[in-house]
Amino acid sequence: MHGLLQIPVKPSSGWELKPMYDRAFFDTLTYERVAKTIDHSLLKPELTVDEVVAGCRLALQYHVASVCVKPSDVALAGSVLTGTDVKVGTVVGFPHGSSTSATKAFESRQALQDGAEELDMVINIGRMRSNEDDYVYKEIAQVVEVAVGRAIVKVILENAYLTDDEKERACKLAEKAGARFVKTSTGFAPTGATVKDVDLMRSSVSSVIQIKAAHGVRTLDALLEMMQHGVTRIGATATQSILEDFKTRKGVA
């Protein structure tokens, strides 16, 4: 365990220390690198216009990578963030992935027209589980074709519903279709990102494809652990507390 930062956890037998991430790794990190790992999530259906604007302003205050907003909020987010270092992202076929391929392509075109620079699309989960790999591939490819040269595409697998074989195949289909990221979860399924799934996803694609973890990464420790396993983007709602914790530990303002 030498070199590992540890946090106490309490199992039934008493307190013990659980290693989370390597101290040497933490020492290499800058604020910018950690902040630019975060996509600040503003996807709760009940968010008001004022709450979305406040969330965008928070993202800008902390200089994260992007906000991820509902499709109806893309233009609103752009009114706050256009011309800044925080990108506007949105979702496609969200959260269940059950829209038709044509609808997903239309959603993507509309999002780009409204100013989105990143698209997080949900695969058709039922078709993936039905071994209709060609359907899933063609659907991803349609969205990528719409986005090419204008936005990056992240493909949400919704791992909670897939077997390991299905996760691996879905990752390979996303890469074949030209996506830039594969992503663990929407945040609306029973479970979210796990280290096991992230390791599987990382091993299923080439180094060109990046990994995004979402759902359940609520602390700095969890974020750092995911980063050590190859994650380069995190979907987070606890952005402020995560980054304030990082600044405190680093002793920076």
DSSP state letter for 59: H
C-alpha span between 234 and 246 (Å, rounded): 15
C-alpha span between 234 and 6 (Å, rounded): 21
Catalytic (active-site) positions: 120, 183, 212
Alpha helix stretches (DSSP H) within 37-185: 49-62, 74-81, 101-114, 125-129, 133-147, 164-177
C-alpha span between 12 and 37 (Å, rounded): 35
Task: Give SS3 for 252.
Answer: coil
C-alpha span between 253 and 238 (Å, rounded): 19
Tokens of 151: 């936005």
Reported for 235-239, long-range contacts at CB under 8 A and 24+ positions apart, including other chains, are 235/39, 235/41, 235/68, 235/183, 235/185, 235/187, 236/38, 236/39, 236/40, 236/41, 237/40, 237/41, 239/38, 239/40, 239/58, 239/59, 239/62, 239/64
Bridge partner list, 8: 17
Pairing of β 16-22 and β 4-9:
antiparallel
